A = this chain, B = another copy of it.
Amino acid sequence: MDGKTVGILGGGQLGRMIVEAAHRLNIKTVILDAPDSPAMQINALDEHVAGSFKEYESILKLAEKADVLTVEIEHVDVEALKKVKEKFPKIEIYPLPETIKLIQDKYVQKEHLIKHGIAVTESVAVESNTEEALLKIGEEYGYPFMLKSRTLAYDGRGNFVVKDKSYCKQALEFLKDRPLYAEKWCPFTLELAVMVVRSIQGEVFAYPTVETIHKNNICHLVHAPARVPDTVATKASIAAKNAVKSFPGCGIFGVEMFLLPDGEILVNEIAPRPHNSGHYTIDACVTSQFEAHVRAVTGLPMPQGFTEFSTTTTNAIMLNILGDKETANKELEICRRALETPHASVYLYGKTTRPERKMGHINIVSSSMSDADSRLSYILGETTEIPESIQSKEQPLVGIIMGSDSDLPVMAVGARILKQFGVPFELTIVSAHRTPHRMAQYAIEAPQRGLKCIIAGAGGAAHLPGMVAAMTPLPVIGVPVKGSTLDGVDSLHSIVQMPRGIPVATVAINNSTNAALLAIRILGAVDSKWLTKMSQYMLNMENEVLGKAETLEDIGYEDYLVEKLKK
């Protein structure tokens, strides 16, 4: 795509996935890492540099072969990068060495963010690694507080929870002579993360806000999008973009955040590279975080919106596959279950297994998060039932309910229409007056069960449609059923004259046919195949009437009437 060769410091799984993305764009990549590292396995070049991204000599060798240098890990030799830039002024290095340096020391990173107006957890540098110093912090922050290594910390290695005074000694032993800082305890309700890619012009594009779940300090699950209100997701996205705007240069950044009980969002830390919380983008977004990074560092186009979900209904879960703690390769059982699960993909990194090592990940993609969750349960071995395909499963989309079986003759006509169109539906009796609790349960559970709309038939006082509508956010269609008195006008007015705030879609008296047809039109909003079917149905009606007109004109209205009366 582009004449530039990209040199990558580090050939682990992140490097491997960068290489994969670059291949698809015909962009040449050269890797610096130990021989046969995951990224090198999928790149048939003789030019890779076997060495360490912490050594000047190796970085220099890589730079000789590349137009752009980038990293898959922030723990590289920044001074070496700066020297390389002096030696080869034309080489581009993204993220900028200064950015890497800022980020490498987590305490400096925090101070930088504070300076740029980004909310972070309160923290303080530990001046000397002594119990005395920690006790002083404990007095100020209270217990528990977090003691963290300022450098070389990842996946929780380098963090220690100081539960009370007595833990100070143990904390210092655990973290040894590393430079430390202390963080006030942050009682977050959720951890959020946003991948942000920055162009060389300084434009930033955020991927969707996701929710991360850690286990033993290692990323375990990512839910995309995060299961939080829109305003929270947007707030997180803005915080992440502002944080990344504070770093010049370009490339992808992973921003990890805490959501506090009061809705406040604090930035926890930033990675200047692809990030585990962004692996879901490979399947859930058209442009993965890896391709976004490649585009950024090589100056390829990054249009508005290229970091979105592929479709408006995409939901995804990412599960990390860690080396089994006891039996080598036992983690492959999880992978096998994933392969047995429709709508799940397995990504293995070509590494030798070791306990707790990140061996690969699994992405699950679906139109609904609850469906993705049920697939996850199978993959994790929590259930033995393989989740069905999402397309073919006949999960009811429409629920038909009525107050009494006396309404069934009227309501069955609508059910037949749904059957004729092939709409999965359910039908049952729910009485507002005789089974009020059942009605409440039905209304409340309907959205979770995947219903997209409810058709409720009722006669007389006809409270069912309105009461169900009052307890569910789904659209409710009301069918006034004609009783033995008042011609059904009582039911019609009862159903249609709902107060402002709670709508019921009312159809004609006894006309459950139209209720069913309306339900199908509503489903058309989800899947245009229903609109196609509806158009066909309307065309057939038109043809039927045109046929009758032709016959009538053909045989004359007198004969036609005779024929009609015979039927």
Which residue in chain B gives the minimum CB-CB distance to A392? B305
Cα(A352)–Cα(B528), bound, Å: 42
A314 to B315, CA, bound (A): 13
A538 beta carbon closer than 8 Å to chain B: yes
A411 at the interface (CB under 8 A from B): no
The chain B residue sitting closest to A397, CB to CB, is: B525
Stretch binding the partner chain, chosen from A38-46, A147-155, A187-195, A558-566: A38-46
Closest chain B residue to A521 by CB distance?
Answer: B475
| Residues 378-395 of chain A, each 1 if its beta carbon lies under 8 Å from chain B, else 0 | 000000001011111000
Contact B505–A339 (Cβ < 8 Å): no
Tell me if A501 and B541 are in contact (CB < 8 A).
yes
A496:B492 contact, CB within 8 angstroms: yes
Contacts known (A286-B343, A391-B308, A533-B230); A503 close to B527, Cβ less than 8 A: no
| Contact string against B for A residues 287-301, beta-carbon threshold 8 Å, 1 for contact and 0 otherwise | 100010001000011
Instruction: Give the residues in chain B near A283, CB-CB below 8 Å.
Output: 286, 310
Known: A24-B346, A42-B23, A45-B44. A501 touches B513 (CB 8 A): yes
Which A321-348 residues have a C-beta within 8 angstroms of B? 332, 335-336, 339-348
A531 CB contact (under 8 Å) in B311, B360, B474, B504: B474
Q: A25-B348, A311-B313, A473-B530 are in contact. List 18 more A-B contacts (CB 8 A).
A: A26-B348, A42-B43, A42-B44, A229-B536, A300-B339, A303-B342, A304-B392, A308-B392, A312-B390, A313-B367, A313-B526, A453-B525, A473-B531, A473-B538, A498-B507, A501-B514, A501-B517, A503-B507
Q: Is the CB of B496 within 8 A of A304?
A: no
Cα(A152)–Cα(B47), bound, Å: 38
A475 close to B522 (CB less than 8 A): yes
How many copies are assembled? 2
Contact between chains at B41 and A342 (CB < 8 Å):
no
**Cα–Cα distance between A1 and B44 once the two chains are bound (Å):** 22
Partner of A301, one of B315, B336, B498: B336
Given contacts A44-B41, A301-B340, A525-B523, are A514 and B503 in contact (CB under 8 A)? yes
Query: What residues of chain B lie closer than 8 Å to A320, measured between beta carbons?
Result: none
Judged by a CB distance under 8 angstroms, whether A534 is at the interface is yes
| Binary flags per residue of A453-481, CB closer than 8 Å to B gives 1, else 0 | 10000000000000000100111110000
Interchain CA distance A312-B315 in the complex, whole Å: 11
A308 contacts across to B, CB distance below 8 A? 342-343, 389-392
> Can you identify 12 A-B contacts, CB atoms within 8 angstroms?
A40-B44, A43-B44, A286-B345, A286-B363, A304-B392, A306-B389, A308-B392, A310-B314, A473-B524, A473-B535, A498-B514, A503-B521
Q: Please indicate the chain B residues that have their CB under 8 angstroms from the CB of A508 in the complex.
A: 496-499
Which residues of chain B are near A306, meaning CB under 8 Å? Answer: 342-343, 389
Is the Cβ of B475 less than 8 Å from the Cβ of A525? yes
Find out whether the CB atom of A339 lies under 8 angstroms from the CB atom of B229.
Answer: no
User: Measured between alpha carbons, how far is A291 from B342 in the docked complex, in Å?
Assistant: 13
Query: Given that A286-B283, A366-B311, A517-B503 are contacting pairs, would A342 and B531 also be in contact in the complex, using a CB cutoff of 8 Å?
Result: no
Smallest distance from the beta carbon of A274 to chain B beta carbons, Å? Answer: 16
Check A304–B388 contact: CB distance below 8 A. Answer: yes
Residue of B whose beta carbon sits closest to that of A510:
B500
Chain B CB within 8 A of A529 CB: yes
Partner among B1, B229, B304 whose Cβ is within 8 Å of the Cβ of A342: B304
Whether the pair B348, A286 counts as a contact (CB closer than 8 A) is no
Q: Kindly state the separation between the CA atoms of A41 and B26 in the bound complex, as whole angstroms.
A: 10
What's the minimum C-beta distance from A515 to chain B, rounded to whole angstroms? Answer: 7
- Bound state CA distance, A496 and B498, in angstroms? 14
User: In the complex, are the beta carbons of A350 and B23 less than 8 A apart?
Assistant: yes
Contact status B523-A389, CB under 8 Å = no
Indicate if the CB atoms of A340 and B303 lie closer than 8 Å: yes
Given A332-B1, A345-B287, A513-B501, are A526 and B525 neighbors across the interface (CB < 8 Å)?
Answer: yes
Contact B386 A303 (CB under 8 A): yes
User: A345 contacts which chain B residues (CB < 8 A)?
Assistant: 24, 286-287, 291
Check: A506 CB closer than 8 A to any chain B CB.
yes
Does A502 belong to the interface (CB within 8 Å)? yes
Whether A515 and B503, one on each chain, are in contact in the complex, defined by CB atoms closer than 8 angstroms, is yes
Residue in B closest to A363 when the chains form the complex, CB atoms: B286
Min C-beta distance of A81 to chain B, whole Å: 26
Interface residue? A452 (CB, 8 A): yes
Contacts A498-B508, A503-B518, A541-B501 hold; do A312 and B527 have CB atoms under 8 A apart?
A: yes
Chain B residues whose C-beta falls within 8 Å of the C-beta of A391 in the assembled complex = 305, 308-309, 312
